[in-house]
Amino acid sequence: MSYLGTPVARCLLNKQNGEAHGKVFREIFAAVNEQHNDFNNGQNIEGITVDFSDAEANGLEEPLGSQMASKVLRGCKVN
């Protein structure tokens, strides 16, 4: 599956922890779902390019679950 666009979001947070980033990812994924029904809340993501802090990587587990987040982040190095 491929998309014609790339979802981009800028979120300003007052906390930098996994819970805050989890809420952000959940909202971003919900917005992408509205435009692409087959996105399935990120459950069919095969890979991701990231420059994540530990908190952001932990936050990705909230919408994806730990198993899918591990699959997506496999090979990524967190800074």
**Tens-place pLDDT, residues 6-40:** 666 667 777 778 888 888 888 888 888 888 888 88
Whether the per-residue pLDDT at 78 is higher than 80: the answer is no
Q: What is the 3-state secondary structure (H, E, C) of 18-46?
A: HHHHHHHHHHHHHHHHHHCHHHHHHCCCC
- pTM for the structure as a whole: 0.65
Reported as a single tens digit per residue, the pLDDT across 36-57 is 888 888 887 776 666 777 888 8
Domain boundaries, the chain: 18-73
